[in-house]
Structure 1
Amino acid sequence: MTDVTVPFRAGHDGYAVFRIPAVVVTGTGTLLAFCEGRVDSAADHGHIDIVLKRSVDGGRTWGPLQVAASNGEDLAGNPAPVVLDTGRILLVHIRAAARATEDAVLRGLVEDADGRRVWVRHSDDDGVSWSAPREVTSQVKRPGWRWYATTPGHALQLGGGRVLVPANHTLPPTGTDTGAEPQYNSGHCLLSDDRGENWYLGYVDESTDGYVNVNETSAAELPDGRVYFNTRNDSRAPGTRADAHSNDGGKSLTEPFRPQAGLTAPVCEAAVLQLRDPDLLLCSGPADPARRALMTIRASADDGTTWRTAFTVDALPAAYSDLVRVDPDTVGLLYETGDFSAYETITFRRVPVHRLT
């Protein structure tokens, strides 16, 4: 039995680097592993496609690479897939001009038409083929917002049917220097109550106090119906992770994001996943406080209040990740890792549930 496979390796399949993993399991049990295929370099801008590999045996083997979303020689990135109760797979993602560097976007030097815009497409055949992309930017991006990114990682469909996609954005700087770079990040989520046909904004967190600046965010629905959000905090001072809860399906937060001292980590994305049997909330990410390394799954039995180390993969470089329930006995971890750099591969690891309890 193969517990570790490498669906994406830098320099293969026509791409220099693969980054930003996301993974879901379809209604038929097929695993869909998404990521960004960066054609020319590891940069966050340029010619980037969203690529996909499918596994019909629980991640032990993978089919050929497919392009799930492209934007010509420009950027299609930040895949946020979710499997709906109808069997349809939604893929929410970002498109931008290849030349729209993060610095230029943050400084307001990129026209709106070339900037970070939000698109949706879907698959009704288990990820084999995909619909034409449909833009929803006007529904979920307020005028003036500059940087914009979905998740990274998988999105959610809540028990009541609502689709929820965590996201982050930046605002223009205050004062007279309109070309200055904003000094803080902000967070929000996208919501749809008709399975992705129409979208609107849920909570918006735009704290500017330098204490918790919401950035890349993951979400999970808790057994009691609340939504748990866990975010990367770039302010660093009170810690690099923060979390919050919502009682109304993501429309608002019960309290603003607060530092989560139980998750020691570098500044990096992390993923969360709620298991129902056993009742356990998981969080994956690098656990070395100083660098992106030491991929670890932490577990919480109290809805994210406290955390313990449940499974340490190894001490190698590691960065972004996502989690999926493969079957009743197995959790899947899709993560960036390598011997000398975290960006050499995107690797899939099957983790027995009993190792996490």
Structure 2
Amino acid sequence: MSEAETSIPFRAGQEGYASFRIPAVVVSGAGTVLAFCEGRVDSAADHGHIDIVLKRSGDGGRTWGPLQVAAGNGTDLAGNPAPVVLDDGRILLVHVRSAASATEDAILRGQVSDADGRRVWVQHSDDDGLTWSAPTEITRSVKQAGWRWYATTPGHALQLRSGRVVVAANHTLPPAGTDNGTEARYNSGHCLLSDDRGETWYLGYLDENTDGYVNVNETTAAELPDGRVYFNTRNDSPAPGNRADAHSADGGRTLVKPFRPQAGITAPVCEAAVLQLRDPDLLLYSGPADPGARALMTIRVSTDGGTTWRPAYTVDGLPAAYSDLTRVDAETVGLLYETGDFSAYTTITFRRVPVHRLT
């Protein structure tokens, strides 16, 4: 693996944050690598004072500039960064906000008000990520009444060749026929769509399978060369394996078939990322490959639109969890991922992976 270069833009306990989680990475129109994540001020918990932080690299991810807060919410939470670079150079940052005190458990049980719960916002940058607009709330357009938990991606969002912006997302439903504080674990999938470069938004597909077989959770998307959109999701259910996938033939508005198990990907219950390369024509997947633990970060490759997969590049055998992928240049793919010697959450590391290692 000596050909791969690595750098560490985020390390737990440094720069004013106890923990860094939930990586997302894009390359701007100017070629700048933008590495986003959640900066968790007080602890590694999923609630509390959390900012979306950003570091920029002008040399392909070898070195990084100073830490910036791309989206803050006072001492409350701004998280689940879903950045996308548009064809006109604008960078959108879709994300969620909630009260610092709103734990996932309380939200799932219906014990958190709409005002304090998971709400959806968007910002943009027109100067290569140096500064960001004030946030605009889009919750009413993309979150239905009654939904409890809500999360964008995590990882990068997508602009299709048609110009449409697609942000994969997930939500939970309350238990059927009751709202008595029972914990709702009916994970469901949807996506956010915009046909005017992020000015207005609406809901695309809904996959609300409550039979406990495939429950769509954190989801990632890529546009295939034939124009279909491929969705790959974390599956917290008894179905074979811990991944499921689906295709859309209409830009995310509907699914050809509901999400079904993807047993060809060995993985623990964890987020993952996908990225479509154009030259060569490869669909990539990154995620931990140990079936029972968050470890063994691996890039897999599909040449048939996600039907079958093969391991192509194993980073190492260390603990590893969430990840994201981007195309840095013609010869290089960038992998931004959580890892550490004894814990997956010690650093967020960036690895430059030669494309020829994936073919």
TM-score range, shorter chain: over 0.9
Change in 2 beyond 3 A, CA 1:2/1:269: closer
Q: How much identity, in percent, do the aligned residues show?
A: 82
Query: Structure 1-normalised TM-score?
Result: 0.99
27, 52, 55: which one aligns with 2:54:
52
Shift of 1:140: 0.2
Counterpart CA distance in 2 for 1:38 and 1:20 is: 10
What secondary structure is seen at the aligned counterpart in 2 of 1:189?
A: strand
Match of 2:343 in 1: 341
Match of 2:100 in 1: 98
Match of 2:23 in 1: 21
What secondary structure is seen at the aligned counterpart in 2 of 1:114?
A: coil
Question: Which aligned pairs between 1:233-312 and structure 2 lie closer than 5 A?
Answer: 233-312=235-314
Report if the CA contact (8 A) 1:2-1:60 is conserved. Answer: no
Counterpart CA distance in 1 for 2:335 and 2:240 is: 28
What secondary structure is seen at the aligned counterpart in 2 of 1:170?
A: strand
Shift of 1:176: 3.5
Moved more, 170-179 or 114-123: 170-179
Query: What is the letter of the counterpart of residue 5 of structure 1?
Result: S
Counterpart CA distance in 2 for 1:62 and 1:319 is: 22
Q: Does residue 135 of the first structure (1) align with residue 111 of the second (2)?
A: no
Shift of 1:2: 7.5
Shift of 1:209: 1.2
Cα deviation digits, residues 316-357 of structure 1 (max 9, x gap): 000000000000000000000000100000000000000000
Match of 1:174 in 2: 176
Structure 1: which 5+ residue stretches go unaligned?
none
Counterpart CA distance in 2 for 1:281 and 1:307 is: 9
What secondary structure is seen at the aligned counterpart in 1 of 2:186?
A: coil
Question: Which aligned pairs between 1:55-134 and structure 2 lie closer than 5 A?
Answer: 55-134=57-136
Counterpart CA distance in 2 for 1:178 and 1:65 is: 43
Report if the CA contact (8 A) 2:49-2:75 is conserved. Answer: yes
Query: What is the letter of the counterpart of residue 178 of structure 1?
Result: N
Change in 2 beyond 3 A, CA 1:65/1:236: farther
Query: What is the letter of the counterpart of residue 287 of structure 1?
Result: A
Shift of 1:182: 1.2
Report if the CA contact (8 A) 2:174-2:186 is conserved. Answer: no
What secondary structure is seen at the aligned counterpart in 2 of 1:113?
A: coil
Match of 1:217 in 2: 219
Q: Does residue 164 of the first structure (1) align with residue 166 of the second (2)?
A: yes
Counterpart CA distance in 1 for 2:269 and 2:229 is: 23
Report if the CA contact (8 A) 2:212-2:238 is conserved. Answer: no
